[in-house]
Amino acid sequence: MAKVGKNILSIKDLTIGYNSKMVAEHINFDLETGMLCGVVGINGIGKSTLLRTLGGFQPKLSGNILLKEQNIEKYTSSNLSKELSVVLTEQPASKNLTVQELIALGRQPYTNWLGSLTKEDKQQIEDSLDAFLLKDLRHRKCHELSDGQLQRVLVARAMAQDTSLILLDEPTTHLDLYHKVQILKMLQELSHEKQKTILFTTHEIDLAIQLCDRILILDGKEHPFGNPCELIEQKHFNRLFPSEMVQFDAKTGSFKVNK
């Protein structure tokens, strides 16, 4: 169980989209220290748009995004990089770096203009290599890694950045079931043990139900938010997909195909 603490992220009546195209509106939720939260919903409903908006990669259309009770637009980019790290689905441009070098980039917000690493920076990099089982791969070039290994490196870089909030867009894409569970368990440990607040988008609803403290369902209307048990009891997962194809089984917390 997550030890819940102070409020980290507060989303109030947020509308997201592109110029005049509204993608989702009336999004409301709060996340506290140490919470792992999954964002689920059908293809094209706006999960990535939400994540990119929260990460500051595109402007919101209206509403408020409060990070540690301060409007996110009020942060300078230097202060924001100490509070918020983002892992997107796009492959990093810096794949020619070694695993250790890429993770060290996470320390950029803290290093001086020469980029020299302090003892604390080095310790943080070491802890991140350790937490994501990357010690043996530290000298490998990132372009030589499997998708699962690269995903662990990208999350480890976010951990090295040591921010209170970490956002990840589909961290389990292209991974087999074992590696999906592995990365999600690592994220769960990072949130609970190191008291990080982690929000990630996913299509792995069954796994999110088992591992997340909170789930946000983007459904084009109410966007229910709560702990997985509450959402199951309120039958929100039953309405996620057209029922002639798949049905949610509340007993097992998973979807079954209608044969």
Task: Please tell me whether residue 20 binds ligand ATP under the rule CB under 6 A.
Answer: no
Task: Please tell me whether residue 11 binds ligand ATP under the rule CB under 6 A.
Answer: no
Choose one: 40-48, 107-115, 148-156, 157-165; the region binding ligand ATP (CB under 6 A).
40-48
The only residue of 4, 12, 13, 44 in contact with ligand ATP, by rule CB under 6 A: 44
Can you read off the two tokens belonging to residue 76? 């300078």
Task: Please tell me whether residue 53 binds ligand ATP under the rule CB under 6 A.
Answer: no
User: 125 and 115 in contact (C-beta within 8 Å)?
Assistant: no
Task: Please tell me whether residue 43 binds ligand ATP under the rule CB under 6 A.
Answer: yes
* The pairing of beta strand 70-71 with beta strand 21-32: unpaired
* Minimum distance from residue 46 beta carbon to ligand ATP (Å): 4
- 95 φ, ψ (degrees, to nearest 5): -70, -5
Residues numbered 158-217 forming contacts with ligand ATP, rule: CB under 6 A:
none
Task: Please tell me whether residue 54 binds ligand ATP under the rule CB under 6 A.
Answer: no
Can you read off the two tokens belonging to residue 61? 């259309």
Task: Please tell me whether residue 23 binds ligand ATP under the rule CB under 6 A.
Answer: yes
- Considering the complex, state which of residue 41 and residue 228 has its C-beta at the smaller distance from ligand ATP: 41
Q: How distant is the alpha carbon of residue 195 from its chain centre?
A: 14
* Minimum distance from residue 41 beta carbon to ligand ATP (Å): 6
Task: Please tell me whether residue 47 binds ligand ATP under the rule CB under 6 A.
Answer: yes
Task: Please tell me whether residue 38 binds ligand ATP under the rule CB under 6 A.
Answer: no
Task: Please tell me whether residue 139 binds ligand ATP under the rule CB under 6 A.
Answer: no
Task: Please tell me whether residue 78 binds ligand ATP under the rule CB under 6 A.
Answer: no
Question: How many residues at the interface with ligand ATP, by CB under 6 A?
Answer: 11
Picking from 186, 128, 190, 135, the residue whose alpha carbon sits closest to that of residue 161 is 128
Task: Please tell me whether residue 18 binds ligand ATP under the rule CB under 6 A.
Answer: yes
The only residue of 20, 21, 178, 242 in contact with ligand ATP, by rule CB under 6 A: 21
User: Which helix (DSSP H) or strand (DSSP E) does residue 147 occupy?
Assistant: helix 147-161
Helix, strand or coil, per DSSP, at residue 30: strand
* Minimum distance from residue 44 beta carbon to ligand ATP (Å): 4
Output Rg (C-alpha) for the chain, integer angstroms. Answer: 18
Task: Please tell me whether residue 48 binds ligand ATP under the rule CB under 6 A.
Answer: yes
- Considering the complex, state which of residue 31 and residue 217 has its C-beta at the smaller distance from ligand ATP: 217
Distance CA 54, CA 59 (A): 9
Distance CA 222, CA 29 (A): 11
DSSP 177-204: HHHHHHHHHHHHHHHHHS--EEEEE-S-
DSSP 245-256: TEEEETTTTEEE
| Residue ranges binding ligand ATP (CB under 6 A) | 18, 21, 23, 41, 43-49
